[in-house]
């Protein structure tokens, strides 16, 4: 067995790569073990391919709608499958070098390909080698999980991992699951020419978002020809049909996007004295240490989040704490999320209902329709809205934005939530005009104006004005 590595990272996705880069830049002796391809789900089957496909679908949709401006779009029909999927593969190919062995080597990161398994509290076997470590980080991510519907596994549905193997657009696509992934891929395939049905067991799409956002997105999907069925719990799956309330939903391709589970199989975590919880996630404390203080965990495998951006932050924080003892506070209350449909649905912090449950009567909510946002007016996209959730002392604790650029707009709101900004402070920040950030800015202004109109405030301002008039005489 070789001399101990300062840090061994298991898994080359967002969390693992960021941890390895951080440790390498700190001058540590680092080994990264990856059983398949560097880049993880985000690069190969998640964020990158899905957003590339959404981009192609948006271009097709825009071309079909160009007739209103006197242009001559191509007739309605199915998009070229090879061209659409070719763009997806090209996007992956252009980003992949950033996560390659060649990119990591200058940072001092050694990469070993192969399945890793713990041999003890401070030992690991990978690629036929026995390794010792001072610290280790588990960043093995997650994998699609099927709901327990009779016949579903036997019907071999596609998942968010395997859908990219399609060579042709399906004529009839049924998407099981109306969460972010289901809505994104459902809209994309519908715009490319498939007949899409999205089914969701909950009473609305995106059940974790503001109800108004869910209803608005449903209206948009249905206006584009997507059949949406909510409160529809699948009873069983047959070859070529999904059976539920009201009968069968026939399909040529079934896409199941109903959740994910932590990937811990084969790691032999028990040998390292690392425990998992009742959901199969690695147990961690506030510093991301497992039940073995020499072993950390970050990313999807912890069950704390399924966001790529949070996984990277966790990986960096875990590496810094393990190697240097740096205690970096992770603020999970200010982690933004985005569903990249058209319009995008972005949120940070609690929804209105969640905030009222936490803070009770101390919550104020300010919602602004986007017919008040000039950028939305000039682009003909006024259907969206901005909601600010204000907690104790008027601080912004949450926000939702539904708009074409909501993913970019929510970033500044995430900073406001993390910084404990009030609506007044947000309104006092200069924003570019005309931009989609006018939505949150105007919503904050409305809260300021409402406070100015309050009887007590009005009495004070009137008294000050009266006094100043007297001083000027």
Domain segments of the chain: what residues? 5-143+261-332, 163-258, 335-455
Predicted local confidence at residue 470, as pLDDT: 84
Task: Name the CATH code of domain 335-455 (choices 3.40.1380.20, 3.30.390.30, 3.50.50.60, 3.10.129.10).
Answer: 3.30.390.30
Average pLDDT over residues 206-214: 97
Q: Tens digit of pLDDT for each residue in 370-428?
A: 999 999 999 999 999 999 999 999 999 999 999 999 999 999 999 999 999 999 999 99
Judge whether residue 3 has pLDDT over 80: yes
Q: Which of 72-81, 277-286, 305-314, 410-419 has the lowest mean pLDDT?
A: 72-81
Q: Report residue 88's pLDDT band, with 50, 70 and 90 as the boundaries.
A: very high
Answer yes or no: same fold for 5-143+261-332 and 163-258: yes
Q: Which fold has domain 163-258?
A: FAD/NAD(P)-binding domain (3.50.50)
> Which range among 48-52, 313-317, 458-462 shows the weakest confidence by mean pLDDT?
458-462
Tell me the pLDDT band of 472, cut-offs 50, 70 and 90: confident
Q: What's the pLDDT band for 72 if we cut at 50, 70, 90?
A: low
395 DSSP assignment: B
Averaged over 150-167, what is the pLDDT?
Answer: 94
Cα separation, 26 vs 316, whole angstroms: 11
What is the helix (H) or strand (E) element at residue 139, kind and residue range? none
- Residue 179's alpha-carbon distances to 107, 281, 288, 338, in angstroms, are 38, 21, 27, 11
**C-alpha of 413 from chain center:** 16
- Does residue 473 register a pLDDT over 70? no
Query: pTM (2 decimals)?
Result: 0.93
Q: What pLDDT does 327 receive?
A: 86
What does pLDDT average to over the chain? 93
- pLDDT confidence tier of residue 2, bands split at 50, 70 and 90: low
Cα angle 419, 422, 423 (rounded to 5 degrees) comes to 130
Describe the strand order of the beta sheet including 236-238 as a list of residue ranges.
Answer: 236-238, 241-244, 247-250
Q: At what angle do helices 180-192 and 211-223 cross, to 10 degrees?
A: 20
Q: How confident is the model at residue 34 (pLDDT cuts 50, 70, 90)?
A: very high
* Contact predicate 293/121, CB 8 Å: no
Question: What's the average model confidence in pLDDT over 131-159?
Answer: 95
**Side-chain-facing half-sphere of 442: CA atoms under 13 Å:** 20
Cβ neighbours of 360 (radius 10 Å): 9
For domain 5-143+261-332, the CATH superfamily is FAD/NAD(P)-binding domain (3.50.50.60)
pLDDT of residue 241: 96
What pLDDT was estimated at residue 428? Answer: 95
Tokens, residue 395: 């601080």
pLDDT of 203 reads: 97
Q: Identify the CA nearest to 147 among candidates 301, 300, 259.
A: 259
Do 363 and 350 touch, CB atoms closer than 8 A? Answer: no
Which residues are CB-contacts of 458 (< 8 A; sequence separation ≥ 6)? Answer: 452
What band does 76 get if pLDDT is binned at 50, 70 and 90?
low
Per-residue pLDDT band at 77 (split at 50, 70, 90)? low
**Which stretch of 263-277, 375-389, 457-471 has the lowest confidence by average pLDDT?**
457-471
Query: Which has the minimum average pLDDT: 88-92, 186-190, 400-404?
Result: 88-92
Query: Bridge partners of 143?
Result: 261
Residue 324 has pLDDT above 90, yes or no: yes
């Amino acid at each position: 067995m070789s001399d101990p590595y300062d840090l061994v990272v298991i898994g080359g996705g967002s969390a693992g790569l960021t941890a390895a880069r951080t440790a390498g830049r700190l001058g540590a002796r680092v080994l990264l073990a990856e059983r398949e391809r560097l880049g993880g789900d985000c690069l190969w089957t998640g964020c990158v391919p899905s957003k590339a496909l959404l981009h192609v679908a948006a271009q097709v949709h825009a071309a079909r709608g160009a007739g209103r401006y006197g242009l001559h779009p191509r007739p309605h029909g199915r998009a070229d499958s090879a061209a659409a999927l070719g763009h997806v593969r090209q996007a992956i190919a252009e980003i992949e070098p950033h996560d390659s062995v060649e990119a990591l080597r200058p940072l001092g990161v050694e990469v070993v390909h192969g399945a890793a398994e713990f041999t003890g509290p401070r030992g690991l076997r990978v690629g036929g080698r026995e390794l010792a470590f001072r610290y280790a980080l588990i960043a093995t991510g997650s994998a699609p999980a099927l709901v327990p519907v009779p016949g579903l596994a036997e019907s071999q549905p596609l998942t968010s991992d395997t859908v990219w193997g399609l060579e042709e657009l399906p004529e009839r696509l049924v998407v099981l699951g109306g969460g972010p992934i289901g809505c994104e891929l459902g809209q994309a395939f519908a715009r490319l020419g498939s007949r899409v049905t999205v089914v969701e067991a909950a009473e609305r799409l995106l059940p974790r978002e503001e109800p108004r956002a869910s209803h608005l997105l449903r209206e948009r999907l249905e206006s584009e020809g997507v059949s949406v069925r909510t409160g529809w719990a699948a009873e069983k799956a047959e070859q070529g049909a999904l059976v539920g309330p009201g009968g069968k939903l026939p399909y040529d391709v079934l896409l199941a996007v109903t959740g994910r589970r932590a990937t811990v199989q084969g790691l032999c975590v028990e040998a390292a004295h690392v425990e998992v919880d009742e959901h199969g996630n690695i147990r961690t404390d506030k510093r991301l240490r497992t039940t073995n203080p020499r072993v950390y965990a970050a990313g999807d495998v912890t069950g704390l989040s399924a966001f790529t951006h949070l996984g990277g932050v966790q990986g960096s924080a875990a590496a810094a704490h393990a190697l240097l003892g740096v205690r970096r506070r992770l603020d999970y209350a200010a982690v933004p999320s985005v569903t990249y449909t058209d319009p995008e649905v972005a949120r940070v912090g609690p929804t209105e209902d969640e905030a009222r449950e936490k803070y009770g009567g101390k919550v104020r909510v300010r919602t602004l329709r986007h017919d008040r946002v000039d950028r939305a007016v000039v682009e003909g996209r006024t259907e969206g809205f901005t909601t600010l959730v204000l907690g104790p002392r008027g601080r912004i604790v949450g926000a939702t934005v539904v708009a074409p650029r909501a993913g970019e707009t929510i970033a500044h709101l995430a900073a406001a939530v993390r910084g404990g900004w009030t609506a007044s402070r947000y309104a006092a920040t200069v924003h570019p005009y005309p931009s989609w950030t006018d939505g949150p800015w105007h919503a904050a202004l409305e809260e300021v104006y409402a406070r100015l109109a309050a009887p007590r405030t009005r009495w004070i301002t009137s008294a000050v004005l009266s006094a100043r008039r007297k001083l000027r005489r």
